[in-house]
Chain A
């Protein structure tokens, strides 16, 4: 739903992730943290971070 909202408004929905990780899945958590970090590096700074209107 959040991705849908952002897509309609033309705000990058690929900056939102949804995944299920149980408390016992430490390695998966680490892997996702890594993936999201890498994806954010590739995308660069969120354009909203420089906007005057927040």
Chain B
């Protein structure tokens, strides 16, 4: 049974109740929190807050995600973990990516608690700006049809794992703080909250409804990929718009190589090598090797892809990268029965040795 506590909203809106929670965290055991916050110009970005007054500008219910927070944690804890207890308030896709990066030892564990806030989805930048102009910065029920494609097919409005889960979906007039780890429980206690067994039956029933709806949308998207984005003609047709800016790779929280193969000397080719490539075919489209680039990225991160869709937001050319990566990740994760971010103890499929596996793709011994 889930453990934690409920917080009554007492007539306050969700955004204000959450600000109060972050304040309480900073007054309690936390030296810092990373939380979506309104920055200059009105846009929302993840920001580090170390004092209760900084919390005023926090906008955790803003349906906009410009960067996957796991990327931020990777940058922030690359050299050393924080010396003060820090809470990262993240969306489920960000927590799942952070869990995967921890498995790759690229996000610190020490002094860093992952706090997952329920999320129904986020808008593309342009749509969010339109809403900002109308004075709407935060929404608890964003308009499904206008969400990013990745959000419309997301099966994780609630994170499968986190130290603390902050939930509002399926609850009326209150928040739930669920501790899934000992560190999570300790934090709640140090905030002066009492931990009890939680009855979340009503919440779970509503979540199931959302997930069923999302599964149908996911099925449609995968079917669309199989119908329209399959085969050499279709794939090259889609990738021929790629300008190899590498944005998809830069914003991907799971493109984990410290030095990218595509920035390596392998691709510092003499001009004549391009001419040779061109001489075997009617013409060579430049920049070359876009298919190789995307296939390599898939082979590297498909097992851990959390389908956050940041690749799509980063693409200036409208290459349907999310559709392609989503379809590939679904298949590859199915092969290994692996769900990224589900459990920090679940080993990465490609870092696990099993003497007997995948016999069906192995050629017979001769």
Contacts and interface: CB of A to CB of B under 8 A. Distances in A.
Interface of A: 1-5, 7-11, 17-20, 28, 31-32, 47-54
A20 B364 CA distance: 9
A52 B236 CA distance: 9
Contact of B289 (A2, A3, A52, A54): A54
The secondary-structure label for the interface of chain A is helix
A10 B236 CA distance: 11
B248 to A, nearest CB: 16
B282 A50 contact: yes
Contact of A8 (B280, B299, B327): B327
Contact of A1 (B231, B299, B362): B299
A52 B283 contact: yes
Contacts of A19: 362-363, 365
B240 interface: yes
Nearest to A54: B288
A9 B235 CA distance: 7
Contact of A10 (B234, B284, B298, B362): B234
Nearest to A12: B232
Interface residues of B, number: 41
Contacts of B273: none
Nearest to B282: A52
B235 A11 contact: yes
Contacts of B299: 1-2, 5
Interface in B272-318: 277, 280-285, 288-292, 295, 298-299, 302-303
A49 B303 CA distance: 29
Given A1-B336, A5-B299, A52-B283, 6 more contacts: A7-B331, A18-B361, A20-B365, A50-B280, A51-B232, A53-B291
Contacts of B280: 49-50
A50 B331 contact: no
Contact of B331 (A8, A18, A49, A53): A8
B328 A9 contact: yes
A21 B210 CA distance: 50
B230 interface: yes
Contact of B281 (A5, A17, A52): A52
Contacts of B284: 52, 54
Contacts of B277: 54
B146 to A, nearest CB: 28
16 contacts: A4-B332, A4-B335, A7-B331, A8-B226, A9-B324, A9-B328, A10-B232, A10-B234, A11-B232, A20-B362, A28-B366, A47-B232, A50-B280, A52-B236, A52-B240, A53-B291
A10 B291 CA distance: 13
Interface of B: 225-226, 229-232, 234-236, 239-240, 277, 280-285, 288-292, 295, 298-299, 302-303, 324, 327-328, 331-332, 335-336, 350, 361-363, 365-366
Contacts of A11: 231-232, 235
A4 B363 contact: no
A52 to B, nearest CB: 4
A51 B283 CA distance: 8
Contact of B285 (A2, A50, A54): A54
Contact of B232 (A2, A8, A32, A48): A48
Contacts of B232: 10-11, 47-48, 51
A32 B364 CA distance: 11
Contacts of A20: 362, 365
Contacts of A48: 232, 291
A49 B92 CA distance: 42
Nearest to B225: A8
A19 to B, nearest CB: 4
